[in-house]
Amino acid sequence: MKKYVILLCFIFLGMNLNAQEKNETKKAAVENINSGIGVVDMKKILAQSKAYQSLVDQFEDVRRKHRNTFTKQEDIIRDEESELLKQKNILSKEAYAEKVKVLGKKINELKGKQAADAQKFETAFERSTGKIQGALVDVLSIIANKKQLNLVLAKSQVILVGKDIDLTDDAIKELNKVLPKISLDK
């Protein structure tokens, strides 16, 4: 009987050691996974990036100047249209129709130029934003290497995030050092 009790004790002891070993293996695996992942909040990074803020300010300034220039040109065309309406009964139908045609052509040219310029500014903004994103990727790569991370995800793609894997503040700090300002490509 003693042999069975001793045998049972060894079996339970062996099972307990095996269970502890499995728990330690699981903990090590979880720690490995946790230390290999980082998360960044892209919206926060852009909102607090000095380069992006300066780029937005430059873009708004260019757009405001663009709008003012075209508003003046639109006012000139409206004045021409008003003058043309005053001359409607004075001019012959053919002369009036020709002037309306010329005015319509001016309006279409102005609209086309507005659209082309707006597209040009949008493209320049996107190019400059791409440069910021490129610098951010470099910064995140350096941070990931320092912290020995295998994966960096956007916070918007993750449901729950622990503060210990959030790299956002470090990324903002480094990005502002590396790229404090950027010019709008024209």
Residue 159 has a pLDDT of 84
Residues above pLDDT 90, as percent of the chain: 55
| DSSP string across 16-41 | HHHHHHHHHHHHHHHHHHHHTEEEE-
CATH code of the domain made up of 36-178:
3.30.910.20
Query: What is the band of 13 on the pLDDT scale with cuts at 50, 70, 90?
Result: very low
Q: What is the pLDDT of residue 89?
A: 84
Segments making up each domain of the chain, as ranges: 36-178
Specify which residues 104 forms β-bridges with.
Answer: none
| Averaged pLDDT, 91-112 | 90
* Residue 52: C-alpha distances to residues 11, 27, 81, 186 (Å): 65, 41, 42, 16
Range ranked top by mean pLDDT from 10-14, 47-51, 151-155, 163-167: 47-51
Q: What is the pLDDT of residue 50?
A: 95
Using the Cα atoms of residue 30, residue 32, residue 33 and residue 38 in order, give the sign of their dihedral: positive
Share of the chain above pLDDT 70, in %: 81
Look at residue 24 and tell me whether its pLDDT is greater than 90: no
Residue 83 has pLDDT above 80, yes or no: yes
Render pLDDT for 132-166 as a digit per residue (tens, 0 to 9). Answer: 999 999 999 999 999 999 999 888 888 887 888 88
Q: Phi first, then psi: give them for residue 183, nearest 5 degrees.
A: -95, 145
**Residue bearing the bigger pLDDT, 179 or 27:** 179
Q: Where are the beta strands (DSSP E) in 58-181?
A: 151-154
Return the axis-axis angle of helices 93-146 and 50-86, rounded to nearest 10°. Answer: 180
d(CA 110, CA 114): 6
Polymer length of the chain: 186
